[in-house]
């Protein structure tokens, strides 16, 4: 297994261009199943989660053709089965989107519990996707086969009918999945307490291009009126707000000066405000944000919450910066469980973090030191990379396949900013 070797201490400087959003792309690719014609998806990120989803589509019988490095033509009209490849499904969380898309199109899907980062209820089998299943059931679908041991499930509906669905929590995955199952259902579906993340809107816009009738995506109440058929459509994936935030924090943590390009300003507000409060220099330009060292970085408190609050996906990343800030910070995680697994790894590097349930207390230290650390999940991995870049000495990060799942060209982008990082074979 490969590792990252990082020699810390160089302030990052220059420009970095943000890649297309993983969490939008991983929903838009399965959404192509719903179209009765070919779709062209432009600006797909080159990350393992996407490559696995494209392979799931191929095995279903779809034609998947790369038109250039980041444009894919997906023709799902030849799909000839409703059985997803369960080995592939288990490789990523977002494979749950094949449930909504296949159910919406064919009224049946056989698949398995999704995989992905070991966070929250995700390891709890059906409990990790209960909002999705409850939503499908409200539309008239049933779980007709369920093997608790292998996690294999079949969901089917003789007919999908619109309904009112009130989500217990504004789950991103459940909101998008229910939207995909509902676009061809008879009648009107209303999703209340819906997630408002930018990728929910991105998927809705793609479905609208196909001919779906969806209103108010991006608010907490989405209305979907079913249509008989959907046509092929084109779309371009939005910039990745979490990748953008990662480079912003990387610039701040290394005391550098970086212009992060290809940004949607309002997607970044929670991160931008937090950095400003901490005394980090932040300047906004059309489509770009400059982050630079202004003086010492101050501690602050953060509480994660669904969009437009502080994103859970930025929690570990921002905490890496808090570890080298002046003072004591409190970090409260309200969205995902198991999101402090990075703390013990950062402690190996000299960080002072006390975790108590959903809260971490971080006392800033002057300097981190290089160490051998292990990545537990994607964003924990990004936090360790940031820590390694600002630490004194060499850091070796293992289990980096978590990071490969979500960051396009990470090594090249950091090296172009002057960071000393390489992938080594062990």
By the criterion CB under 6 A, which residues form the site for ligand EPU?
23, 26, 93-94, 117, 119-122, 128-132, 169, 171-174, 195, 312-313, 335-337, 378-379, 406
Nearest distance in Å: CB 97, ligand EPU: 8
- Which residue has 């004194």 as its token pair? 392
CA 378, CA 382: separation in Å to the nearest integer? 7
Could you tell me where the beta strands, DSSP code E, fall in 141-206? 142-146, 152-156, 164-166, 188-192
Nearest distance in Å: CB 24, ligand EPU: 8
39, 76, 117, 235: which is the annotated catalytic residue?
117
Walk across the sheet containing 288-292 and list its strands: 13-17, 257-261, 288-292, 281-285
How would you label 30-66 residue by residue, b for 16+ Cβ within 10 Å and e otherwise? bbbbbbeebbbbebbbebebbebbbebbeebebebee
Nearest distance in Å: CB 403, ligand EPU: 10
Q: Find, among 119, 116, 48, 108, the residue nearest to 84 by Cα.
A: 108
Instruction: Identify whether 117 is a catalytic site residue.
Output: yes
Give the HSE-up count for residue 258: Cα atoms under 13 Å, Cβ half-sphere: 30
Cβ neighbours around 286 below 10 Å, total: 6
Nearest distance in Å: CB 332, ligand EPU: 14
* Nearer Cβ to ligand EPU (299/304): 304
Contact in structure between 296 and 272 (CB atoms under 8 Å): no
Nearest distance in Å: CB 382, ligand EPU: 9
Query: 80 burial class (0-12, 13-18, 19+ CB within 10 angstroms)?
Result: exposed
Torsion of CA 301, 306, 307, 313, to 10 degrees: 70
Query: 251 burial class (0-12, 13-18, 19+ CB within 10 angstroms)?
Result: buried
Q: Find, among 61, 144, 77, 137, the residue nearest to 110 by Cα.
A: 144
Q: Find, among 261, 245, 243, 252, the residue nearest to 291 by Cα.
A: 252
* Nearer Cβ to ligand EPU (148/169): 169
Nearest distance in Å: CB 99, ligand EPU: 11
- Name the DSSP class of 304: B
Nearest distance in Å: CB 376, ligand EPU: 11
* Nearer Cβ to ligand EPU (119/275): 119
Contact in structure between 104 and 34 (CB atoms under 8 Å): yes
Could you tell me where the beta strands, DSSP code E, fall in 20-70? 39-42, 63-68
* Nearer Cβ to ligand EPU (9/337): 337
* Nearer Cβ to ligand EPU (256/406): 406
Residues tagged active-site = 117
């Amino acid at each position: 297994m490969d590792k990252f070797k990082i020699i810390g201490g160089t302030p990052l400087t220059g420009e970095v261009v943000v890649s297309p959003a993983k969490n939008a792309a991983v929903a838009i690719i399965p959404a192509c199943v719903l179209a009765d014609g070919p779709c062209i998806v432009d600006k797909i990120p080159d990350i393992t989660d996407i490559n696995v989803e494209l392979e799931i589509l191929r095995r279903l019988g779809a034609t998947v053709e790369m038109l250039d490095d980041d444009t894919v033509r997906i023709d799902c009209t030849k799909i000839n089965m409703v059985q997803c490849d369960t080995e592939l499904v288990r490789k990523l969380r977002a494979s749950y989107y094949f449930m909504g898309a296949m159910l919406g199109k064919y009224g049946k899907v056989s698949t398995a519990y999704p995989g992905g980062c070991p966070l929250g209820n995700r390891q709890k089998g059906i409990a990790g996707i209960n909002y999705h299943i409850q939503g499908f059931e409200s539309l008239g679908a049933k779980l007709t086969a369920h093997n608790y041991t292998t996690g294999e499930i079949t969901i089917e509906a003789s007919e999908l009918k619109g309904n009112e669905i009130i989500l217990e929590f504004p789950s991103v995955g459940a909101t998008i999945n229910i939207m995909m199952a509902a676009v061809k259902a008879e009648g009107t579906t209303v999703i209340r307490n819906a997630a408002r993340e930018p990728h929910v809107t991105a998927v809705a816009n793609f479905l609208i291009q196909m001919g779906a009738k969806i209103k108010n995506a991006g608010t907490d109440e989405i209305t979907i009126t079913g249509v008989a058929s959907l046509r092929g459509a084109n779309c371009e994936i939005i910039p990745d707000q979490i990748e953008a935030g990662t480079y912003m924090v990387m610039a701040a943590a290394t005391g550098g000066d970086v212009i992060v390009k290809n940004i949607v300003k309002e997607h970044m507000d929670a991160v931008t405000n937090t950095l400003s409060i901490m005394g980090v220099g932040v300047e906004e330009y059309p489509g770009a944000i400059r982050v630079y060292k202004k003086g010492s970085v101050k501690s602050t408190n953060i509480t994660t919450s669904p969009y437009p609050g502080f994103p859970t996906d930025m929690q570990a990343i921002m905490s890496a910066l808090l570890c080298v800030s002046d003072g004591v910070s409190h970090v409260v995680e309200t969205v995902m469980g198991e999101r402090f697994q990075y703390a013990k790894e950062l402690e190996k590097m000299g960080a002072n973090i006390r975790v108590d349930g959903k809260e971490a207390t971080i006392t800033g230290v002057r300097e981190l030191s290089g160490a051998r650390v292990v990545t537990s999940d994607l964003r924990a991995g990004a936090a360790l990379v940031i820590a390694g870049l600002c630490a004194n000495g060499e850091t070796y990060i293992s289990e980096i396949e978590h990071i490969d799942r979500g960051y396009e060209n990470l090594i090249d982008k950091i090296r172009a900013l002057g960071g000393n990082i390489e992938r080594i074979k062990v």
